[in-house]
Amino acid sequence: MTWISKSITTLGGLLLAHACYSAREHSALQSLRAASAASLTSLPSVTTSLPLDIIIETIVATFIILLGLVLGTRPLRPIEWRVWAGKIEREGEEGFIDGAGEVNKDYMGNPFSALESRPNFVDIRKQRREFAEWVKKGG
Amino acid sequence: MAPSLLYPATQLPPASALALSQQAPAVLRSSPATVSSSPLSALFSAPEKPELWIKYENLILSCLRTGDDQAAHQCLERLVARFGNGNERVQALRGLVKEAEAQDDSALEEVLKEYEQILAENDTNIPIAKRRIALLRSMGRVSDAASALVQLLEFSPTDAEAWSELSDIYLSQGLYPQAIYAMEEVLLLAPNAWNIHARLGELQFMAATAPGVAGGSYQKYMAEAIKRFARSVELCDDYLRGYYGLKLVCKTLLSGGSNKTAKQTDDEFAIPDTRNTERLNELATAKLSEIVRHSTARDQGWRGYDEAEIAAARQLLSDDVAASSAIER
């Protein structure tokens, strides 16, 4: 998915650069012609606008870049609480993996699970005993 | 795959705790031994990340659990080097290490005395106060722990974790109404916590099915339990625990509830009528079997559930099938 969005953005960028270059060339040519015409006939120079194809190219290039950028965004988070919570419960870490294959940094599972595990009240001696028993049983 | 070190590791199964504590040497090696806190040196070195300190904290917990005291001490030393001895969280962690290494009751008494000394100097030291309560409970002095916890809650009534611990202490003593009250306080502080809603439903169900419950309060507890479980699945799509509880409560109501039916006096706590209960039961059954089916097939996007929970749900469903086929015969 990322390479599609990147290539579309690059294409749009090339088109936009081309449009800019054409516009610059066009205006340089126009001013040269106006200067030569003025020296010949001393008439007031006519202001000319850009040709239609350059304008269209610019607009199309902008939209292509926009399309590429939009395609490249990360999937949006669910807005509704129950959908988001359900995603956490159903998919676990897998649902929050970004393009690089890593779990999102701000993913923390159920944010309220600490209210049940209560890390500040942990009974470390009991946990040690249970772990030792688990090892004895052959883990 | 070992779970990430960034979440508190108190309720993980032993195998994951072992995997976490085995990461300790790698983490200790890959991060600098001391990080200076002066702003001048921060300009020239790589910025320190808060994640590192969370990692150390969680490493201490898992290392103490697996008996790797040496690594725990190293992590603690680094935390002390960064935050100093006076930091409240560091003090609590130091106490935790001492508790874990205490060989007998007299050593534990020593630790307890130390906590009380710290609290005498500064009685707003909440991490130490919590450790003291946990130690009292661990030593079997549950009533002392409960009264200390009530004192702490009078002093800081918005501490949801402490309310939750209080509920657990009351539950361990069989005091269901008090446990439910404390859990409701947690819900006041975290009204969107779907697991707390489910937990409260479980408490209500336990209170309803406890021996020696009068008919009226049985009805009240069951109605409340349905409400809580329904709220938990409303807050969280496909919540296995919520649907499990919902199904359990509805099943109990449908099978044996009729002989305990008392006259409904209070409209607020009315149990839904039999038809609605049946429909709730059907809904929960359908959802549970969907979850179990997908999870057993390891379908994409359904792998977050706990194995043991899925097994329990499967058991509940097969019990149901067995019961209904027995009735048909």
Distances (CA, A) of A51 to A12, A22, A25, A56: 20, 10, 12, 9
Nearest-CB residue to B164 (from A85, A116, A124): A116
SS3 A103: strand
For the packed helices B88-101 and B50-66, what is the interaxial angle rounded to 10 degrees?
Answer: 10
Contacts of A102 in chain B (CB under 8 A): none
pLDDT digit string (tens) for B131-165?
Answer: 999 999 999 999 999 999 999 999 899 999 999 99
HSE toward the beta carbon, residue A85, CA cutoff 13 A = 22
pLDDT above 90 covers a percentage of chain B that reads: 41
Q: How many CB pairs under 8 A join A and B?
A: 139
The tens-digit pLDDT sequence of chain A (139 residues) is 678 899 999 999 999 999 999 999 999 998 888 888 777 766 555 556 788 999 999 999 999 999 999 988 877 778 899 998 988 888 887 777 765 666 776 777 788 888 888 888 888 888 888 888 888 887 6
Confidence of residue B1 (pLDDT cuts 50, 70, 90): very low
Of B128, B135, B34, B17, residue with least CA distance to B75: B34
Q: Does B287 touch chain A (CB under 8 A)?
A: no
DSSP E strands, B18-66: none
Contacts of B303 in chain A (CB under 8 A): 91-92, 94
Residues B204 and B321 in one domain: yes
The verdict on a CB contact (< 8 Å) between A89 and B240 is yes
Give A97's strand partners.
A103
The verdict on a CB contact (< 8 Å) between B302 and A108 is no
Residue A69 to chain B, least CA–CA distance (Å): 26
pLDDT mean over B16-26: 80
pLDDT mean over B36-59: 74
Overall size of chain B counted in residues: 329
The verdict on a CB contact (< 8 Å) between B199 and A131 is no
Distances (CA, A) of B197 to B143, B235, B241: 26, 9, 10
In angstroms, the CA B188 to CA B182 distance is 10
B53, two tokens: 């300190």
Identify the closest residue of chain B to A106 by CA–CA distance. Answer: B6
> What residue numbers bound the domain in which B19 lies?
1-34+48-83
Q: Does some domain include residue B150?
A: no
Contacts of A118 in chain B (CB under 8 A): 10, 161, 164-165, 168
CA B144, B148, B149 angle in degrees (round to 5)? 115
Q: Does some domain include residue B101?
A: no
Is pLDDT at B82 greater than 90 in this prediction? no
Distances (CA, A) of A139 to A131, B3, B29, B69: 9, 18, 27, 20
> How many structural domains compose chain B?
2
Identify the closest residue of chain B to A109 by CA–CA distance. Answer: B7
Is pLDDT at B260 greater than 50 in this prediction? no
Contacts of A108 in chain B (CB under 8 A): 6-7
Q: Does some domain include residue B320?
A: yes
The verdict on a CB contact (< 8 Å) between B8 and A119 is yes
Residue A74 to chain B, least CA–CA distance (Å): 17
pLDDT digit string (tens) for B208-234?
Answer: 988 877 777 888 898 999 999 999 999
Residue A83 to chain B, least CA–CA distance (Å): 6
A48, two tokens: 């000319």
Confidence of residue B321 (pLDDT cuts 50, 70, 90): confident
The verdict on a CB contact (< 8 Å) between A119 and B193 is no
Confidence of residue B58 (pLDDT cuts 50, 70, 90): confident
Q: Does B25 touch chain A (CB under 8 A)?
A: no
pLDDT mean over B247-254: 90
In angstroms, the CA B281 to CA B286 distance is 9
Mean residue pLDDT of chain B comes to 85
The verdict on a CB contact (< 8 Å) between A89 and B99 is no
- Write the ipTM: 0.77
What pLDDT sits at residue A98?
A: 66
